[in-house]
Structure 1
Amino acid sequence: MKTIKKLLLAMLVLAFMFTTRTIAQEDTKEEFKPVYITVTTAHRSSDPDVDYSDWLKTEQEYFDKVTIKNDLIIGSGFYFHYFTPDDSEVKLVSVYKSWEDIDKANGVTTKLVNEGWPDEDERKAFFKKQGSYYGPMHSDEIYTSLPFQKDYTTESKEPMIFYVKVNQSGDGGKGFKEYFENVTMKNSYIKGYYTHRHRWGSNSLDAVEVFVVENFADIEKIFEEDTKLVKEHWPDADKRKEFFKEYSKIFSGHGDFILTNVPELSK
């Protein structure tokens, strides 16, 4: 119960990271202030007797009484399997302005929980019900954002699709900034794009890019548009080949994951 309570009171998940030194050292012209992202990956309960009919209603109550009222949490969300190796995963994310705000936010959360459920028995009953939706296993990570991002905001109540490219850091290489500015930023099918760097957690070698798209079909269109933009920016085949020979050294391989969010539980 202690593990589940820690998970549910934290309300964290889905962040992505960059650890490639070459990328981190490429300067951007505008001043950039990184945010801190706490991440917990949980799993839906495998208990066949768990009734999920009120899952959204239960999480909505927590969201309305706690998450939305905690001003130190500047962003949060739930993310589910769409096309991944494990369809039981539940990912949430909480975003903070500073490292210190992570600890402070936990204190505010405790206060809001007591205010939201002042009766101790009702409070215990609520968290017992909320905890029943999830298994006891989870993982925690903390990341900091990098300046290579394409911000996206929407008022739509429809779920978005998140294509997550989990790269493995390579040995050297260069050109990420040039590719980002001339391909990623110009690709109209990429509605949002985010990069994050590992700060604390299990694997500091992952280098992850997150692409926000409106629908599944747009993922394939991203690749087609990338090819077009690449040829426009590097029209000379020899120079193009030379650029990507160096660029390819940034990463040593990658895996692909596709997730979807819950708009009602997004901050």
Structure 2
Amino acid sequence: MKNVSNLGLAMCLFVCPFLFAQESEPETDDFKPVFITMTTTHWNGDPETDFSDWLETEKEYFKKVTSKNDLIIGSGFYTHYFTPDNSELVMVNVYQNWDDIEKAEEMNQKLIEEAWPDETERKKFFDKQTSYYGKEHSDEIYQTMRYRKPLTERSEKPLIYYVRKSDLAMDGQGKPENFKEFDEKVTQKNSKLKAYYTHRHIWGSNGRELQEVFVFDKLGDIEDFFAEEENLISSAWPDEKEREQFMGDLNKLFSGKHGDYIYRSVPELQK
């Protein structure tokens, strides 16, 4: 992890000055940023692959390893719902700080050896677990931002996660306080939104990336969310010219390029 850590630090030093300034302002609440690792992998496309025991296998690993690793303060498993690739899966882990990412891997290895002390049985289990997935995957690391509306209770049913990936303009034209104002006057007041999270790129393939994650009970709530958002925008800025001016200034934070992805959570694999 030393090479990764050094590269991640370099990327952070390059990217952070162009990001939202209030992230470095004195905090007025209890917000403390944490680190998120996201591994995007894919189902094994071999038609001979038997997926009948997939969930039970992952539940066993979750119970014996992830749930016992205190350095992993949160985790989730998300499957394709509406994305460009129906084989896509996203595995997420959350850590208090950068160093814990490496330490947690060491703890995982210790827990694995304790859970499967017999080397033959251990290999058998992980061969089965690995067989569900293709060889292609990508890894990204993000840092959380203060714009959030956390889940208030654990759901026993799958939730819908709508992810908006936007490229930051990084040209100094946009004002971060506009995003803060929009969050307070619109996003936080939307009754259709079950939870909301923002995080920024720290290490990975796209140094401009900002992710917003909108959480809903069901797919139909997304359409209702956007309808209510329009009403909230009109209420917050009733004067049309002022509204257009504000939204124009807000959009200066971004390049205009974004992608939309919808995933479904696996409740049995969430921490």
Shared fold by TM > 0.5? yes
CA-CA distance at 1:22 after TM superposition: 5.1
Distance 1:142 1:180 in 2: 24
Letter in 1 for 2:221: D
Q: Point out where structure 2 has 5 or more consecutive residues left out of the alignment.
A: 1-14
Q: How far apart are 1:238 and its partner, in Å?
A: 1.8
* Structure 2 residue aligned with 1:177: 180
Matched residue, 2:261: 257
User: Which aligned pairs between 1:155-194 and structure 2 lie closer than 5 A?
Assistant: 155-170=154-169, 171=171, 172-174=173-175, 175-194=178-197
CA gap 1:92/1:22 in 2 versus in 1, 3 angstroms: closer
Identity percentage over the alignment? Answer: 54
Structure 1 residue 228 and structure 2 residue 231: aligned?
yes
Q: In the alignment, residue 206 of structure 1 is paired with which amino acid? A: E
Indicate if the aligned counterparts of 1:19 and 1:198 stay in contact, CA closer than 8 A.
Answer: no
Task: Specify the alignment match of 2:151 in structure 1.
Answer: 152
1:205 aligns to 2:208 (yes or no): yes
Change (3 A) 1:179 1:20: farther
CA contact (8 A) 1:19 1:207 kept: no
Report the alpha carbon displacement of residue 178 of structure 1 after superposing the two structures with TM.
0.1
Verify: 1:76 aligned to 2:75, yes or no. yes
Distance 1:41 1:79 in 2: 9
Q: Please say if residues 164 and 210 of structure 1, whose CA atoms lie closer than 8 Å, have aligned partners that are also in contact.
A: yes
Question: What is the DSSP-based 3-state SS (H/G/I as helix, E as strand, rest coil) of the residue aligned with 2:189?
Answer: coil
**What CA distance in whole angstroms lies between the structure 2 residues aligned with 1:166 and 1:100?**
26
CA contact (8 A) 1:35 1:98 kept: yes
Any idea what the Cα deviations from partners look like across 1:226-259, whole Å, max 9, x if unmatched? 1111111111222112111211211122221111
Which residue does the alignment assign to 2:248? 245
| Corresponding position: 1:50 with 2:59 | no
Assess if the C-alpha contact under 8 Å between 1:38 and 1:140 holds in 2: yes
Query: Following TM superposition, by how much is the alpha carbon of 1:82 offset from its aligned partner in structure 2, in angstroms?
Result: 0.3
Instruction: Give the whole-Å Cα distance in 1 for the aligned partners of 2:16 and 2:89.
Output: 24
| CA positional deviation for 1:109 | 0.5
Residues 218 and 130 (structure 1), Cα distance of their counterparts in 2 relative to 1, 3 Å cut: same
Pick closer, same or farther for the CA change 1:101–1:24 going to 2, 3 Å: same
How much has 1:135 moved relative to structure 2? 0.7
> What secondary structure does 1:242 align onto?
helix
Provide the rounded CA distance (Å) in 1 between the counterparts of 2:21 and 2:91: 25
Amino acid corresponding to residue 99 of structure 1 in structure 2:
W
Single out whichever of 29-38 and 114-123 deviates more from structure 2. Answer: 29-38
SS at match of 2:247: helix
2:36 matched residue in structure 1: 37
Task: Write the letter of the residue equivalent to 2:86.
Answer: D
Decide which moves more: 147-156 or 256-265.
147-156
Q: Deviation per CA, 1:166-192, whole angstroms, max 9, x where unpaired?
A: 112124222100000110000011111
- How far apart, in 2, do the equivalents of 1:208 and 1:98 lie? 19
What is the letter of the counterpart of residue 262 of structure 1?
A: V
3-state SS in 2 of match to 1:185: helix
- How many residues align structurally? 250
Deviation at 1:153, TM superposition (A): 3.5
Offset from partner CA, 1:201-238 (integer Å, 9 cap, x none): 11111222110011100101111111111111111222
Rounded Cα–Cα distance in structure 1 between residues aligned with 2:154 and 2:38: 24
Give the match for residue 60 of structure 1: 59
Structure with greater proportional helix content: 2
